[in-house]
Structure 1
C-alpha cells in the first residue's frame, strides 16, 4: 500500500508540477537520503549537534538553491534562515536541557517492548531532542523566508521607485497574511499526529494537571511552538535583508 500511495504521489507531482515538480521530487528524495545518512552518522557516534548543523545547511541549500536557483531571493532567504536558526539554537538548547525533555516519555517508558531493547546507546538524548526540534522547524522557516523574499523581489520589480522602508513593510504585510495559515498547519499536523495519543490518555483517566506537566505533551508540543516562533522571527529578518540587497543592487 505504501508503494501504491508513493507512486500516486510521484505521478501527481510530475503531472501537475511539470518540470518544477520533477525538480521538487528530486530535492525531496535528496533530503530524505541526507536525513537517513545523518541518522546513520549519529548512530555511528558522530556528535549529534554537529551532524544536525551540517544536515540543516545542506537541506537548506537543496531546498533553496537547487529548487529555486541561485539568486538574490534565495540568498536572502538562506541568510535569514541561518540567522534565525542560530538564535533559536541557543534558546532551544537551554529549554531542552533545563526541562530535561530528552529521552523516553511516560508512555514509551512503560511499554512491554522496552524490556527487549538495549538502552545503553552512548548518545545524549537531550541533544537528540534538540536535533529533532531544529530539523522539524527548518521546513516551515524555509518556506516562510522564501515567501517573504520573493514577495519583496516582485514588488521591487513592479515598483522600482519604492523606498527601503516601503519594501520592508511590503514583505512584512505578506508575512502577516501567511503566518496564520502556517501556524495552523503546524498546529493541525501536531493534533492529527497525536489524536490517538490523546484518546489513550483520556481512556487512562489522566488528569488535566498530570497531562499539562507530562513529558509527552511537552515533547510533542514544543516543536510546534518553536516552529511558529521561528516563522514569526524570520519575517522581519528576511524582509530587511531582501530590501537591503535590492537597494544595493
Structure 2
C-alpha cells in the first residue's frame, strides 16, 4: 500500500496507474468500432422529415388562441359525488381587457388556485361577429418552473463546480439527441431498439468524456456502459415479444396510434426500455471503473483477481442501492395506476398480466438485469486494462 502511494502522481489516480499496452489497444479499437457503428446508425436512421409514419397533427382548430389572464375570483369547487349546485367551479379571469367566467375542474381549485394566479385560457372565435368564448386550458406554472430550474443550476454548479457545468452541457446534448434525432427517427418508422442503441451510444460518448475527462478510466466506463446498453436492448426485444406487449398502455399511446397507425409500438416500447436505464447505468459503470483505478493505485502489485474481487465488493453494494432506485422510481411514476389497481376487487398478483402492470414489471426487470450485468463487465474490463506492477520495477512511462 505504501509503495502505491509513493508513486501516485499529483495529477490524480489516472497518472498513478500503469495501463497495459495490449488491453489499452484492444479497448480503444473496440470503442473506435462502436463509434463508427454509432455514426453509421445516425446516418442510416437520421430523420428525413418527408417520410413520417405519423401525419401532422394540428393542436387546435384554426383561429383558436391561448391567452394568459389573471384570476380575479375563485368559486367553490363542484363536488365529485353529487349533483353540482349552480355556479360551482366558476373562476373569474381578467383577460383581453375584460373579466370572463370560466368553468374549472374541481381538482384545479382544490390544488390551491387563488386570486392573483395566472391561467392559460382557450379562446375560440365565434362566427358571424359574435363574442369569442373562453374555457380553462391550464394553470400558468412558469414562475415555479423558473425558480426550480435556477435552484437546480445553482446547487449543481456550487457543489459540483466544473464537473457540474460539464454535466449540464452533456445533459443539454442528450436532450438535443432525443429531440432532434431519436423522436423524429421513431416517427419516421425506424427501428425502435436500433434508434435507441444509436442515440444512447452517441449520448454516452459525449457525456462521459465531457463530464469525466479523456482517460482510460473513462474509456473503460464507456465500454461497460455500451455493454450494458447492448444487453438491455437485446433483453427488451426478447421480453417485449415474449410477453406479447402492445406498447400502448395509456392515453398517449392511443392518441399517437390515431395519428400514426404505421408505427411499431412494441418496438417503441423496446426503445423506451433502453433509454429508461441509461442514467443509472452510466452511474454504476463510472463507479466501478473508478473503484478499479483506486484499488490498483493503492495496491500496484496486487493480482488482477484481487483487484477484481475488491472492486466487485464495492459493486455489489452499489447494485443493491441502485436497484432500489430503479424500482422506487417506477413506483413513483406509476403511483396512480398502482393505486387504481389496488382498489379493484382483484389482487395485484391477479392483475400482473394486464398491459399497464406487465409493462412496468418488464421495464423494471429488463433495466435492472442490464444494470447488474454491466457491473462485472465494467470491472473485468478495468482489471484487464490496469496492469499490476512487477516487484522492484520502476513506474511505467506508458500509463494514462
> TM-score with structure 2 length normalisation?
0.57
**RMSD over equivalenced CA pairs, Å:** 2.3
Aligned to 2:224: 80
Which of 38, 41, 45 is matched with 2:189 structurally?
Answer: 45
- The answer as to whether partners of 1:164 and 1:247 remain within 8 angstroms in 2 is yes
- The answer as to whether partners of 2:308 and 2:383 remain within 8 angstroms in 1 is yes
Aligned to 2:208: 64
Q: 1:217: Cα distance to partner?
A: 0.7
1:157 pairs with 2:333: no
What per-residue deviation string (whole Å, max 9, x for no partner) do you get for residues 38-66 of structure 1?
11221133333332121011111123111
1:1-249 equivalences under 5 Å are: 1-37=144-180, 38-105=182-249, 108=250, 118-247=258-387
Identify the range of structure 1 (227-236 vs 143-152) with the bigger mean alpha-carbon deviation: 227-236
Q: 1:115: Cα distance to partner?
A: 7.4
Q: 1:204: Cα distance to partner?
A: 4.3
2:351 partner SS: helix
In the alignment, the residues of structure 2 paired with residue 48 and residue 31 of structure 1 have an alpha-carbon distance, to the nearest angstrom, of 17
> TM-score with structure 1 length normalisation?
0.89
In the alignment, the residues of structure 2 paired with residue 128 and residue 228 of structure 1 have an alpha-carbon distance, to the nearest angstrom, of 19
In the alignment, the residues of structure 2 paired with residue 199 and residue 183 of structure 1 have an alpha-carbon distance, to the nearest angstrom, of 22
- The answer as to whether partners of 1:190 and 1:220 remain within 8 angstroms in 2 is yes
Distance 1:117 1:126, change over 3 A: closer
Q: 1:210: Cα distance to partner?
A: 4.0
In the alignment, the residues of structure 2 paired with residue 50 and residue 208 of structure 1 have an alpha-carbon distance, to the nearest angstrom, of 33
- The answer as to whether partners of 1:13 and 1:21 remain within 8 angstroms in 2 is yes
Segments of structure 2 that go 5 or more residues without pairing to the other structure are: 1-143, 389-398
> Considering only CA atoms, is the larger Rg found in Structure 1 or Structure 2?
2
Q: 1:103: Cα distance to partner?
A: 2.4
1:208 partner SS: coil
Distance 1:69 1:102, change over 3 A: farther
Distance 1:146 1:207, change over 3 A: same
Q: Kindly indicate whether structure 1 or structure 2 has the higher relative contact order, using CA contacts under 8 Å at least 6 residues apart.
A: 1
In the alignment, the residues of structure 1 paired with residue 197 and residue 369 of structure 2 have an alpha-carbon distance, to the nearest angstrom, of 19
In the alignment, the residues of structure 2 paired with residue 150 and residue 123 of structure 1 have an alpha-carbon distance, to the nearest angstrom, of 42
In the alignment, the residues of structure 1 paired with residue 372 and residue 255 of structure 2 have an alpha-carbon distance, to the nearest angstrom, of 43
Segments of structure 1 that go 5 or more residues without pairing to the other structure are: none
Q: 1:228: Cα distance to partner?
A: 1.8
Q: Between Structure 1 and Structure 2, how many residues are aligned?
A: 245
- The answer as to whether partners of 2:231 and 2:370 remain within 8 angstroms in 1 is no
1:154 partner SS: helix
More strand by share: 2
- The answer as to whether partners of 1:190 and 1:221 remain within 8 angstroms in 2 is no
